Every structure is written in structure tokens, then in C-alpha cells.
Amino acid sequence: MAIRVTKAVIPAAGLGTRFLPATKAMPKEMLPVVDKPAIQYVVEEAVAAGIVDVLMITGRNKATLENHFDRVGELEAALERKGDIDRLKKVTYSSDLAEVHYLRQGDPLGLGHAVLQAKMHVGVQPFAVLLGDDIIDERDHLLQRMLNVQAERNATVIALQEVDSSHAHLYGIATVSPTNESDVVRVNGLVEKPEPGTEPSNLAVIGRYVLQPQVFEVLASTKPGQGGEIQLTDALQVLSADETIAGGVYGVVFKGRRYDTGDRVDYIKAIVELAVEREDIGPELRPWLKRFAEGLD
């Protein structure tokens, strides 16, 4: 019988250099997307898919992250005194979401190294990994679909999305073959951030993974790769090449809405896209945005 996936790992130790100086004293995961820090969308997505235990792999600036998912007695008491129940709910919501644990990465040796730190916490169960730069629209149930595929096939499952070939060098890129399910592919090979023009396909790895515990052994012997970092993609390449280790690697091809908060322009686009859809502020923002865009040349 398939083991239900209850744990997620969220690497959050990046330096966020693209957002300096905003990220000088604050992790990039705390940058607001409309009125919630980016990381809260990711934790909410995990919880919606049935995850109850989240391990964040953090770096030196972790204090604000911890505070965000903790109670804040003074503020809660003040809002309660005022009878401001709506805001009180917003404050307590993030601390009640899930059981959140923190582990420091130590040396920043890459995404593969960050995931390897989760070994003791995860144990020998399959687990999810969610990267904070990608926000998946809550109406599109990508992680849930990936967990179902993992349970059916007892294999590693990654999320793939078609990207323009001009962007392929920013991602892990997969070589795939079809399966009997239209949104699921067998991953035959992976390459991390190929040189422009050398990408084997335009199917990019987006930041959602459901991993088998065997990945830890592979990561432990994965040598630094692209950028001199220990790459999760390289460990997954090993698993995709040998089905006998942990059932091989499958990809769920995602056609839904993904918002990239990883660089400055994409971050602004993500905020605008999410804000116009919101019931509370969308109606006011939309007509303004139309007028504003008409004035641009």
C-alpha cells in the first residue's frame, strides 16, 4: 500500500542577491506578494495537498521566517481588544497552518545539499520538496496530482512545464517519453541549466518534487555540478537512469498558472497577476491598470 506523504521540505537558505538591498536583513522568502510573504503561499499549497509537517532549510537570516509561523501574543491581544476579528484571523492563520521545523544548511553548497540536510527529519518515507520562487495558483492542484502519481507508480515525481527555449538555460531540462496518462511522462534524462541552444527539450523542471528517500544516498555521493553546487537535478538524473533504485522518475506536465517570484520583473508580474484576481482589491485595481497601460508607449 502506498505511504501517504505528510512531510515537505522547503529550501529557504538562498541569499536573495537579486533583491538587494531589500534582502539585506530579511530572507527573500518574506518579500510580500500582495499582502502575504511568498513563503506563506508555498506552505498553504503544501497543506492543501495534505502535508502536515514542513521542514525549512534556512540560512543566517531565519528569524523573521520563524516569527512569521509563530504566535505573536501582543499583536493578537491588541486585535482581540479592538474586536478586529478579520485581522486577528490573518495573524493566527499562518501560525496554525502546519507544524513547521527549521534546520540551518551550514555551508551554502547548493539545492541538492540543502535537500540532503533533511535526511534525518524525513526518514525513509517519500516526501515533497517545494521551492519558494515558484507560486502555483491555488486553483490548480499540481502537488496533489504529483502525490497521486507517486502513490500509483511508487517512483520519483517532478513537475515540468513547457518554457520558451530562450528561458531553458534558467532551469533543469528533461528528456521524456510518453506514458498511458496524457499529463504524465517518463523522465529519461535531466540536465541542469543547459547552455543556450543545447537544451534537449523545452520541458523545464519547476520547483515541485515528490522524492523517494533513496534520493538521500544518491545526493550524498553527488559531486558539485553546474555553478560548482551540488545539484538536485544531477541526483535525479541518476535516479532516472536506473529504475531499479527507486522506481525511476516521472514528470507531471503542468499546464496551469505558475507565478515566478525569483527575479525582479517576474516578481512584479506575479504581484499584479495575483492582485487583479483578488476579490477585495481586484475590482479597484483592474480599471486603474487598464488606464495606466493605455498611457504606456
Q: Which residues bind ligand G1P (CB under 6 A)?
A: 111, 131, 133-134, 171-172, 192, 204-207, 231-233, 262
Sequence letter at residue 281:
I
Query: Which of 127/171 has CB closer to ligand G1P?
Result: 171
Give how far the C-alpha of residue 147 lies from the chain's centroid of Cα atoms, to the nearest Å.
15
**Cα distance between residue 129 and residue 116, in whole Å:** 11
Provide, rounded to whole angstroms, the least separation between the CB of residue 208 and ligand G1P: 9
Give how far the C-alpha of residue 94 lies from the chain's centroid of Cα atoms, to the nearest Å.
17
Query: Which of 149/199 has CB closer to ligand G1P?
Result: 199
Neighbours of 93 (CB within 10 A): 12
Query: Which of 192/199 has CB closer to ligand G1P?
Result: 192
Name the nearest CA neighbour of 209 among 270, 134, 103. 134
Provide, rounded to whole angstroms, the least separation between the CB of residue 199 and ligand G1P: 12
Cell numbers that stand for 149 in this block: 502519481
Provide, rounded to whole angstroms, the least separation between the CB of residue 226 and ligand G1P: 8
How many residues are there in the chain? 297
* Residue-wise burial string across 230-265, b where 16 or more C-beta atoms lie within 10 A, e elsewhere: bbbbbbbbbbbeeeebbbbbbbbbbeeebbbbbeee
Residues 6+ apart with CB under 8 A from 147: 5, 49, 50, 128, 157, 210
Query: Which of 88/170 has CB closer to ligand G1P?
Result: 170
Query: Which of 37/172 has CB closer to ligand G1P?
Result: 172
Which helix (H) or strand (E) segment holds residue 239: the answer is helix 232-241
Provide, rounded to whole angstroms, the least separation between the CB of residue 141 and ligand G1P: 19
Provide, rounded to whole angstroms, the least separation between the CB of residue 136 and ligand G1P: 12
Provide, rounded to whole angstroms, the least separation between the CB of residue 211 and ligand G1P: 13
Provide, rounded to whole angstroms, the least separation between the CB of residue 236 and ligand G1P: 9
Neighbours of 98 (CB within 10 A): 18
Position of minimal CB gap to ligand G1P? 172
Query: Which of 79/129 has CB closer to ligand G1P?
Result: 129
Query: Which of 136/205 has CB closer to ligand G1P?
Result: 205
